[in-house]
Amino acid sequence: MGKYAKIFSLAVVLGLAIFLAVVAGDYGPWYFAWLVGTTMIVLIAAAGAVLFDTQEERGEREI
Amino acid sequence: MELFVALKLIWTLLLGVLLSGLAIMVGMDMGVGTLLRFVGKNDAERRVALNIIGPHWDGNQVWFILGGGAIFAAFPTLYATSFSVFYVVMILLLFSMIMRPVAFEYRSKVDAKKWRGAWDWAFLISGALPMIIYGAAFGNVMQGVGFHYTWTGQFFQDESFLSYLLNPFAILCGVLSLSLSIYQGGTMLMLRGEEPIYARARGFAIGGALVAAVLFIIGGMWVAHINGYVFTSPVDPGMAPTPLNGPGVAVQQGAWMNNYHAQPLLWVLPVLGVLGMLGGAAMAAARKPVLGWWLGALAWIGVIFTTGASMFPFLMPSSTMPSQSLTAWNATGSQYNLGWMLFFALVFTPIIIAYTSWCFYVMRGKVKAADVAKNTHGY
Amino acid sequence: MNLIDPTVVDLSRLQFALTALYHFLFVPLTLGMTFLIAAMETVYVITGKPVYKEMTQFWGKLFGINFAIGVATGLTMEFEFGTNWSMYSHFVGDVFGTPLAIEGLMAFFMESTFVGLMFFGWDRLSRPAHLAVTYLVALGSNLSALWILIANGFMQNPQGASFDPVTMRMQFNSFLNLVFSPDAQAKFVHTSIAGFVTGALFVMGISAFYLLRKQHVALAGRSFRMAALFGVISSMAVVTLGDALGRLDYLVQPTKIAAIEGLWQDSNAHSSAAAAPWLLFALPNDATQKNDFEIGIPYVLTPLVTHSMDKVIPGLITQENQAGPRIENGIKALNALEAYGQTHDAADLAAFKANEDDMGYGFLAQRYAPDQNLNQITPANQGAVIAKTEKDIIPNVFVTFWSFRIMMFLGFYFVALFAFASYFSLRNELQKHKWLLWASMWSIPLPILACEFGWITAEAGRQPWSVYGWLPTFQAASSHPVGYMVFSLIGFAVLYSTFIAAELYLMFKFARLGPQPHHEVPDEGATPMFAARAAE
């Protein structure tokens, strides 16, 4: 049951995302761009930090 | 009933709800601010008192901001006129309101006696002054305010700000509001504080509630003798919302009691107010701060709705040009606007109440001096 | 019709401008830092490395110092519409007040309630729950900006409301037009992302300070990296959105774009529109209505502003000359409206409706009408009134031109700075490029400066209007005695100076002190408890 609930809620989220993309993309292209852009900016900054840790670990091993 | 009239009525009710919510939530924090120097004899105790409302004052303050925004949108002309006509007082209120967030955040960040002492005074001023002004504004509005409009809707004031400051009835309302906030703040300090803060707060809560009850009763008898306002020609509640071509209005002593004579059921409101205050004092005395807090909320609702019921449908009468008095029928926004605002209020109010309650739930429990000293994120 | 004392209008404008600029010192940092802190906490929750928790809490503390003043001074802004701009509030409150109220309901409540939990909830919430709270604060502060800029968008390009001759004010008629106004959209994204740049450079600059002193290197290196990447995308987005806003101004606020570009004559006045130079440097002279000196790059202006090679951008002098008929219609509209207010006669209403769109230009003409009364304008003196009013329809060109340029030059500087910072941080070569660290540190105030100049461009460029094309600024103010204004101005000066002194003192104190908490460090035993709670 838990599995189906997860799949269902994922479907709801995806459905909402598509709806948002269609509506926002049509009426509020810049608002939509902000949503996508901000998510991307946050994720890239986070990825940079993770990369920093990886680089550091690799650097320590090389020494 | 016409949709527009219904919306006007709903928003007038919501105005009362907002003013009550503001008084309860902001008033509680203001009370704690006012009491800070008296319930906390040393720095550690004062920090405990501050951390009791620390996680919540910011959210509570939004009631004040929301109050301003909602009046702006739902009663544009009332907002434009009342804020301007009370200019000097409003600016004083503003100065004390903006001192408070800064005081919370900055006070405990520097470990110096002078620095903290100065911010403690800032708490006293920014706690007591806004509550006095809040109450006094009601007192002034009840007596009518001097303003008129030109044909473009441009507003002009006809009285000096001194007449709003030096006004016995308004001062009484101001002190009433201050004592209610002290009562409310006192019960909050009891709720999450330990000895010796608890005992001191208890004293102030009882005192505040009793003083408020006395002043409220005196104020009620006084109202029967001050000038009220009545319509002299028929009013169409569905009228276009503008004060420019309204019906005739006359000034009449004791007119604010008319609604109570017409609808005796309204007497429930002042009774609730008095019950809230006396019951609250009893609960504080019986060391039941949770009940005391809720009775304090009831007292505020009683006081504000008593005032509203006696003036309805007047919101802010003009003493110099009574026919341009602002009422629930002529000071609102358009039907379209009120509809959208109601939609947003209905959607977001439950959400706000839900997460505010959750926030209080997460931060429940007593605030201990040892925790405050250890916590680097607190105040 | 008596107008407000011009001294009171000027003092009201001064007070609003100063308090808005002051408020805006703190807002961009809040908008950006919340998301950057949320990104740090995200890494903490995913990797579980304590250094990211330390980062979240340290930057959170600096954020808190800034946030408090931002909230406090924001109150002033809401008050001032009522206390100083009563005609404005009455005239557009039906549509302008709504986004402000929704801001309170939807955004400000969320931001302020959760900011308490963000600081106080560390020991009481599971890691994911605390992360969610941080994101809600970030989202709340940016949603706040959204509704405020929707309101501001209405002032720039009023849509979603129409004038109602019975209530004598703008009546709200389309929620969707208000919210999806292109001006509001582009402005929100531009402002929010400009905040991201400000937050990123703040974090990057302070991290650079630590890196230079080789202090707190684990925290500073990671913070620098995150801020640099956060900033490089944001700064490019800001430039993109700036371009979008410029094009919007060309479409709906022709006086503003001409002032921004220092364009007195039409863009095709000297040769073709395509060859029109974009001015790199100029000294616009508002008195003689020409540029005393200019250096331009040909073939840039037209594609930049109009996104085409042949569209003509009308110059300021042309626009003044073309305003004559609108002013004449506006005078007719207002005279008909005043008559309608007394007679409620259909003929008067029809006369008003015929010239309704030019009503605002009638308001502008009041200052020059005999006795400031439009009724007293006769065919004999009308020409003189119109000639004087025409000169009033454009903003101060020098101010608009230069505030725009300072903002824009800074914007391109940020792109370059963040690009270098990201590149060298990704290669872990920051210590080899000390100049970059110095530049980052000294650049901390520059994004705030750029934001301020951006605001000046937008609002000074909107003049003489309070609501573009509908309500002149001098008409919008409250009628106060000069003494009231002096009182409030002195009060603001004293209070705000004290605040900024306290804020800078604390910021420097805690930035120098670095991540160690100024009280004792909470015992590390807290961490397993988090893990246990998270597992529940």
Give dist(CA C188, CA C178) in Å, integer.
Answer: 13
Shortest Cα distance, chain C CAs vs residue B275, angstroms: 31
Give dist(CA C42, CA B328) in Å, integer.
Answer: 50
Give dist(CA B46, CA B119) in Å, integer.
Answer: 11
DSSP symbol at B318: B
Chain B neighbours among C 164-183 (CB < 8 Å)?
A: 164, 166-169, 171-173, 175
- Report the residue count for chain C: 536
Chosen for mutation from C76, C80, C81, C83 (greatest number of chain B CBs closer than 10 Å) is C83
Contact C189 A49 (CB under 8 A): no
C474 contact B CB<8A? no
Of the CA atoms within 13 Å of residue B113, those in its CB half-sphere come to 1
**What is the tally of structural domains in chain A?**
1
List, for residues C30-82, the tens digit of each pLDDT value. Answer: 999 999 999 999 999 988 888 899 899 999 988 988 888 888 888 888 889 98
Inter-chain Cβ pairs, chain A and chain C, closer than 8 A: 85
Task: Judge B/A contact: 3 or more CB pairs < 8 A.
Answer: no
The CA–CA distances, whole Å, from C287 to C6, C263, C283, C290 equal: 20, 14, 12, 8
Contact C189 A31 (CB under 8 A): yes
B99 contact C CB<8A? yes
The CA–CA distances, whole Å, from C380 to C369, C383, C386 equal: 12, 7, 12
Shortest Cα distance, chain C CAs vs residue A63, angstroms: 15
Chain B neighbours among C 37-56 (CB < 8 Å)?
A: none
Shortest Cα distance, chain A CAs vs residue C42, angstroms: 7
Structure token pair of residue B15:
């105005």
CB proximity list for B364: less than 8 A, separation 6 or greater? none
Contact C35 A31 (CB under 8 A): no
Give dist(CA B322, CA B316) in Å, integer.
Answer: 10
A1 contact C CB<8A? no
Of the CA atoms within 13 Å of residue B212, those in its CB half-sphere come to 35
Chosen for mutation from C26, C120, C175, C497 (greatest number of chain B CBs closer than 10 Å) is C120
The CA–CA distances, whole Å, from C519 to C255, C468, C523 equal: 56, 53, 12
Contact C188 A40 (CB under 8 A): no
Q: Quick one: C536 exposed, middle or buried, by C-beta within 10 A (0-12, 13-18, 19+)? A: exposed
Residue B97: pLDDT over 90:
no
Residues of C within 8 A of A29 (CB-CB) are: 185
Q: Are B74 and B167 in contact (CB under 8 A)?
A: no
Partner chains of C (3+ C-beta pairs under 8 Å): A, B
C512 contact B CB<8A? no
Contact B57 C95 (CB under 8 A): no
Chain C neighbours among A 26-45 (CB < 8 Å)?
A: 27-31, 33-34, 37-38, 40-45
Residues of B within 8 A of C517 (CB-CB) are: 376
Q: Of all residues in chain C, what percent carry a pLDDT higher than 90? A: 34
Q: Are C106 and C73 in contact (CB under 8 A)?
A: no
Chain B neighbours among C 313-342 (CB < 8 Å)?
A: 338, 341
Give dist(CA C48, CA C42) in Å, integer.
Answer: 9
Residues of C within 8 A of A59 (CB-CB) are: 428
Chosen for mutation from B17, B51, B91, B236 (greatest number of chain C CBs closer than 10 Å) is B91
Which residue range forms the structural domain that includes residue A10? 2-62
Residues of C within 8 A of A36 (CB-CB) are: none
Chosen for mutation from A41, A43, A55, A57 (greatest number of chain C CBs closer than 10 Å) is A41
Contact C113 B59 (CB under 8 A): yes
Contact C233 A52 (CB under 8 A): no
Q: Where are the beta strands (DSSP E) in C186-345?
A: 278-285, 290-297
List, for residues C125-179, the tens digit of each pLDDT value. Answer: 888 889 999 999 999 999 999 999 999 999 998 988 888 888 888 989 888 888 8
- For chain C, the domains span 8-253+395-535, 267-313, 322-393
Q: Of all residues in chain B, what percent carry a pLDDT higher than 70? A: 98
pLDDT in tens, chain C (536 residues): 478 888 889 999 999 999 999 999 999 999 999 999 999 999 999 888 888 998 999 999 889 888 888 888 888 888 899 899 989 999 998 999 899 999 988 888 888 888 888 888 888 888 888 999 999 999 999 999 999 999 999 999 898 888 888 888 898 988 888 888 888 888 999 999 999 999 999 999 999 999 998 888 888 989 999 999 999 999 998 888 888 887 878 788 888 888 888 888 888 877 777 788 888 888 888 888 888 888 888 888 888 888 888 888 888 888 888 888 888 888 888 888 888 888 888 888 888 888 888 888 888 888 888 887 877 777 888 888 888 888 888 899 999 999 999 999 999 999 999 999 999 988 888 888 889 899 999 999 999 999 999 999 999 989 889 999 899 998 888 888 888 899 999 999 999 998 888 888 888 888 888 886 544 444 343 333 333 333 33
Matching residue, tokens 């110092």? C65
Chosen for mutation from A34, A50, A53, A54 (greatest number of chain C CBs closer than 10 Å) is A34
Q: Is the ipTM of this complex over 0.90?
A: no
C492 contact A CB<8A? no
List, for residues B18-65, the tens digit of each pLDDT value. Answer: 899 889 988 888 888 888 888 777 887 788 878 888 777 877 888 888
